[in-house]
Amino acid sequence: MGATQVHRPGRLGDPDMTLGTDPRADRRMVAVMTELGLDGHGEPTPVNADTPIEDLYAYCDEAEPGFQMMFDVLYQGLPPVEGVERNDVTITGPDGNEISLYIHRPSGASGPQPAIFHIHGGGMVILTAADASFGRWRDELAALGLVAVGVEYRNGGGSLGNHPFPAGLNDCGSALQWVAANKSDLGISTITVSGESGGGNLTLATTLKAKRDGYLDIIDGVFAQCPYISGMYANPPADLPSLHENDQYFLGCENMGALAKVYDPTGENATNPLAWPMHVSFEELEGMPPHVISVNELDPLRDEGLTYYRKLTAAGNAAVARTLNGTCHAGDVIFRGVLPDVYASTAAALRNFAYSL
């Protein structure tokens, strides 16, 4: 008998495979990506890790409104979320800067409720907590009986830049401590730190920073979604196969390498776990609060998230990993309109986790 042929997934098996032709992809998602022209490999990225930093800042300024417009299209036509109260608070950040907090809570709530301290995505360099898509996420969480607090941290680039690491991380740490100090006034019982993509990075990094700085006890749980945490995009290693398998499925390594440079222009923090949490030691992960690491099957970032999960469990922590099959990077939260069941499953998982703490 001949040797059994092993089919390798995605671009590992077929370099010409695209998100649109990959048989694992949810066809509802593919239909929308096709309409947006994002089902293939797209045009070659105009920037990479060798691009001068000033050109990368200009790229972020140009790319940010494009992403905001795309997310607006994905969320348009949805009915408003009812039964939610919203208010904003401005606090002073670690460098005398202003930090806006967007607080969403169930209308008429009696008694304290679990809070989600939400850190938005955008590679730590673009997008804002005020964007409609992130406001919608906070509304949906509040409608599930949670207090959702969005933090407007300084970005590496874009309209809230140019502030390289650790400015945004420091803002998240300061805002988290303010929320914890005001739990009673905010009607909060527990605090779960959560975010997606770059927000997933800052979710994990904020937790690591809290441990280093002695206030880990204010974090009851951590729910990181599709975290962008290796920083190894300019030269993807073989032991993170999803960076090769799913490269250019919505996200491309070359482009991510460019954005990583915006966050850390000199590269001096390439293995600093506060900048790129995947590089954390087992020892530093000892004694962490419960974690959920949620990843997407067709995401280049899938395996770095799972690597972090394995480190957490190896260090003796309570941790759960979940993989959303058929979805691209953050597909379970950005396709609210066409994948309502997948979106609802992630919102419910976050809600149930927060209530379990």
Confidence of residue 31 (pLDDT cuts 50, 70, 90): very high
- For residues 42-56, one letter each, b for 16 or more C-beta atoms within 10 angstroms of the residue's C-beta and e for the rest, the string is eeebebbbebeeeeb
pLDDT at 5: 62
Tell me the CA end-to-end span of the chain in Å, nearest whole number.
54
Mean pLDDT (the chain, rounded)? 96
* Angstrom distance (rounded) from CA 351 to CA 354: 5
Q: What is the distance of C-alpha 155 from the center of its chain?
A: 14
Asked whether the predicted pLDDT for residue 1 surpasses 50, the reply is no
Cα dihedral value 337, 150, 224, 77, nearest 10: 0
Place of tokens 């770095």: 304
Q: How many other CB atoms are found less than 10 A from the CB of residue 316?
A: 12
Mean pLDDT value of segment 14-19: 96
Report the predicted TM-score, pTM, of the whole model to 2 decimal places: 0.97
Q: Answer whether 294's CB lies under 8 Å from 264's CB.
A: no
* Angstrom distance (rounded) from CA 115 to CA 204: 17
Asked whether the predicted pLDDT for residue 54 surpasses 50, the reply is yes
Asked whether the predicted pLDDT for residue 88 surpasses 70, the reply is yes
Backbone angles phi, psi at 148, to 5 degrees: -105, 125
Asked whether the predicted pLDDT for residue 325 surpasses 90, the reply is yes
Mean pLDDT value of segment 19-33: 97
C-alpha pair distances (Å), 326 with each of 14, 189, 246, 294, 318: 18, 35, 12, 14, 26
Asked whether the predicted pLDDT for residue 2 surpasses 80, the reply is no
* Angstrom distance (rounded) from CA 201 to CA 166: 12
Q: What angle do CA 165, 167, 168 make, to 5 degrees?
A: 90
DSSP state of 241: T
What's the sign of the alpha-carbon dihedral 186, 191, 196, 198? Answer: positive
